[in-house]
Structure 1
Amino acid sequence: MDKHQKRRITFLTIGLIFLLSGIEYAVILPTIWRYLQILEAPPYFLGLGLSAFSLSGLLTGPLFGLWSDRSRATKHIILFSNLFEIAGNFMYFLGYSKWLLLCSRLVAGVGAGAGSSIFGFITRCTQADERASVFAAIMAFRQAGLLIGPAFNMFLRLCDFKLGPFVVDKYTSPGIFMCVLWTLLQFVVLAFYWDVPSADSAEGGPLQEEVVLLEMNEEELPLVAAEEDSVHRYLAVHSDYRPQPVRCPSKDHDPDPPTKFLREEVVVLLTAQFITLFNQTALETMVTPMTQRYFGFTELGNSLMYGACGVEVILGFLLVRWLSSRVADRVVLAVGLAICGVACVWCLIFLTDLRGGYEWELTAFIIGVFLQLLGLPFVAVSQVSLFSKVTAEKTQGFSQGVRRSVGGLATILGPLWAGGLTNNLYVMLGMMLALLTLITVSTTPSASGVHLVLQLQG
């Protein structure tokens, strides 16, 4: 088997990992609300349970990323992290108390921390011009899991038997089901995952060496370029071209700054990551109680709804994959932020004064969810791709860990914010709209942060 086949199969295995993460989310989220109610948990435990998973990923993501940067290997990291997924889902299956349920999501979240190593691996194994397409395809696998998950819920909800001393019903069955799937994944990773060499070393040759030299010299470029210089920033690399070191005109510039994450373009992308995930998870937390209260949805209704959402998001990622080869990442980011802004305004107008029993309310609810999910693929793919281009390749695992930690912080605060404000949607949605306005203004051509991002290729 040659290296190209190994690379393809490895990417498919990564897609399977993301597929299982989507399935886990889809089979647990529609039932966890009622599960907690049966265990006599107070309402705020819903936000705690959803945030616990993200908290573990937030803490372990940079550690796994640093591990992969130093070892230049991710296979053993994935195998190790999956053990936590197996253990966490088994604890969810046991479900003796609300506290064990909360701890189960904490343990399972450790396994999600390996995502930073995987994103770093993808960055090292892809060229800049194909990276957005690969990211879009991998993320589409997770959304496919969100689509398939409700189908599994169709039969999981029918479970009603005992496995030794343990009760298997529609609330505990998702835990044992995911435990089995993550165990099977261990064997798949062992057989079909290779730590293939990076794109630079795989291609080799004088041309690639010159590209690497150019990237090294770009580390020494000033963070803010003059207007007349920005036009000539992107040069074609020919075989007779030898890039020369570029000196910064500022005597205070450090060619290897110890705090690269304070660069303006990086801060803009991290802020976009935080705000979009904060808003997304806040709306997800709000959806289940709203459908139960105003529209009478059961677990089956919620599962069907999440299935329909999965179809939409998969189509969105396929659209972004197609667009990424035709337009710049920064354009995709701007479109995504605009759609998210429209979605938030729509929800603020039509969903803050529901009474239940009116057909137009369900229609308004569906449109709001549709718009919110439509903008998600645009923002998710573009900010990941742009972030991989403004951070160093040699520390990509740690950088992606920091990015995912920022996202994890958003997915912790989002449910906590929404969980306590389901009865006061004006405040909840008003804050979300304010955050979206902030990042949209930051990404306008007149803002310094986006002036830097506009200098990126792709």
Structure 2
Amino acid sequence: MDPRRKKKLTYGTIGLIFLLSGVEYAVILPTIWRYLQTLDAQPYFLGLSLSAFSLTGLLSGPLFGHWSDRTRTTKKIILFANIFEIAGNFMYFMGFSKWLLLSSRLVAGIGTGAGSSIFGFLTRSTAPEDRATVFAAVMACRQAGLLIGPACNIFLRLCNFHLGPFVVNKYTAPGLFMCLMWILLQLAVAFMYWDLPQLERMKTRGCSTNTSREEEEDEHGPGEDDEEKPLMVSQELVGSYGAVVMPNPQRNHSGASNHTPPLPAPPPPPPPETQGSPFRNFSIYKEFLREEVVVLLAAQFITLFNQTALETMVTPLTQKYFGYGELENSVMYCLCGVEVIGGFLFVRWLSRRASERVVLAIGLAICIISGVWCLVFLAKPLGDFPWQLTEFIIGVFLQVLGLPFVAVAQVSLFSKITAEKTQGFSQGVRRSVGGLATILGPVWAGGLTENIYIMLGVMMALLALLTVMLAFSYGRLVEPAAEEQGDSQESSD
């Protein structure tokens, strides 16, 4: 098959993976609260069940990322991770007790760890200047799933039949539906996904003359030259360790030189089993305790903490003030999905015209405005029903609006300021920090549904802390590789 077609199918499959992750979230979230109530679960079980999914994803993300860094493959990792998604959603469908439902979210969450491998793969296969655009497109796929999920839920809520010993109703149907979807995705990954870094090793790119062949392979982007390298390279063009050597213009056709002796033949490359590990000379402290990395990890944690806390609060709040059920909540999440997709498309356009740190600052400003609005109007709604509904809609709109700006900016910039060879592990650490936020956020909100001022006050304090960190570290939130490359080019000139 043509390499370009393989690349398109692979990226399309990645889009399907994130699409289904969004569908799963949007299908389960509107109904899980009522589902738990039918199983005689206490209110705190809502926070536990939502956090359980993130807990195992937090633990599995770095492991899957490390696996992909060592093997430079992602296909078998995705196939392995999807098994947990299939099993977890089937357990959710069974739903015999609240403990089985909690266990189902723990099992399904392991499958989300493959996302770190995928982000590492995308980092190694895209050019830095195109990375924000690619990440925005991938994240938009997940948001499209958040849009499709509630629409699916509108039909799933009509289910009311038996499947052997199992009852299929509006609460158990989402689990069965997602189990079937992940099975179909397994087939898509098996037949439509390729490990592109291995397929593109023979392709050229215009890089520095001091860059090794292995670094060229890892940093190759999808928008670069697709011309294939010849299998045999003239010794005149290759020096020690694969460095490019310009041919001597005074060398005659017979290979002899009038002034310089012939270059020695390069040493043979080491066998694959003895080549250096990507984690050689890798230090966790030097990699993740740098100022700019800490700021981005803090942005990841705080924004996801606030987002999941508000999402957990939304369904009890709409039930309390507006009498909303699963249908109304599904429609609400569907409309939020439309807004987020539009936001990601706008950020994709903006990322070509502004730096990531500018996009991050814009998103943080929107999040602060949203937090102030929620603290003023959602903690104690003012006015009658129409005014309360309007206040609620504006608060949700502002919260959803800031998400694409922060999400795309911090992911893209994080991929540029961390080592590319260990990108899978680094993305796993980043997603684990986000997973910790999605664990603590629902637990925090689930225990404070009657104390909204305290809940929102802590969220605003976290946003204020992030604002101070961003202001002091704004100058360091740039891609160091670009500066180093510019310095090396100036020195070579």
Q: Shorter-chain TM-score: what band? A: 0.7 to 0.9
2:28 aligned partner: 28
Provide the C-alpha distance between the structure 2 equivalents of 1:299 and 1:68, rounded to a whole number of angstroms.
39
Structure 1 residues 356 and 24, CA gap change in structure 2 (3 angstroms): farther
Partner residue of 1:433?
A: 460
Write the letter of the residue equivalent to 2:420. E
Residue 150 of structure 1, CA deviation? 1.0
CA distance in 2, matches of 1:202, 1:326: 32
Q: Which runs of 5+ in 2 are unaligned?
A: 216-244, 247-280, 484-493
1:276 to 303, 320, 326: 303
- TM-score, structure 2 as length reference: 0.82
- Give the 5 Å matches for 1:41-440: 41-197=41-197, 201=201, 203-205=203-205, 207-210=206-209, 212=211, 257-259=283-285, 260-354=287-381, 357-440=384-467
- Name the structure 2 match of 1:453: 477
Letter in 2 for 1:88: G
Q: Percent identity, please.
A: 69
Q: Could you tell me how far apart the structure 2 residues matched to 1:403 and 1:68 are? A: 15
Give, in whole Å, the separation in 2 of the partners of 1:397 and 1:432: 30
Look up the SS of the partner of 1:14 in the other structure: helix
Deviation at 1:47, TM superposition (A): 0.2
Cα distance, 1:451 vs structure 2: 2.4
| Partner Cα distance (1:211, 1:357) in 2 | 69
Distance change >3 Å, CA 198–CA 211, structure 1 → 2 = farther
In structure 1, the gaps of 5 or more residues are: 217-238, 241-254
- Alpha-carbon shift at residue 212 of structure 1 (Å): 4.3
1: CA distance between counterparts of 2:197 and 2:479?
A: 29
Letter in 2 for 1:6: K
Instruction: Tell me if structure 1 keeps the 8 A contact 2:93–2:175.
Output: yes
Residue 66 of structure 1 and its aligned partner are, at CA, apart by 0.3
Secondary structure (helix, strand or coil) at the match of 2:15 reads: helix
State the distance in 1 between where 2:94 and 2:14 align. Answer: 29
Please list every run of at least 4 consecutive aligned residues from structure 1 whose deviation after the TM superposition is greater than 6 angstroms.
none
**Structure 2 counterpart of 1:233:** none
**Shift of residue 365 of structure 1?**
0.5
- 2:195 alignment partner, SS class: coil
Q: For the aligned residues, what is the CA RMSD?
A: 2.0
1:316-342, Cα deviation, whole Å (9 max, x unpaired): 000001111111011000000000010
Q: Give 3-state SS (helix, strand or coil) of 2:197's partner.
A: coil
Give the residue type in structure 2 aligned to 1:60.
S
- Greater Rg by CA: 2
How many pairs align? 418
Structure 1 residues 105 and 257: alpha-carbon distance in aligned structure 2, compared to 1, 3 A threshold: closer
Go from structure 1 to structure 2 and tell me whether the alpha carbon gap of 1:385 and 1:410 turns closer, same or farther (over 3 Å shift). same
Partner AA of 1:125 in structure 2: S
Cα distance in 2 between the residues matched to 1:60 and 1:121: 17
The answer to whether the 8 Å contact 2:72/2:197 transfers is: no
How far, CA to CA, are the matches of 2:208 and 2:343 in structure 1?
36
Q: Distance in 1 between matches of 2:23 and 2:124?
A: 27
Question: Which residue in 2 is equivalent to 1:248?
Answer: none
Specify whether residues 455 and 64 from structure 1 end up closer, same or farther in structure 2 by C-alpha distance, changes over 3 A only: closer
Give the SS at the match of 1:167. Answer: strand
User: CA offsets per residue over residues 258-308 of structure 1, 9 Å max, x none?
Assistant: 521111111110000000000000000000000111011110000000000
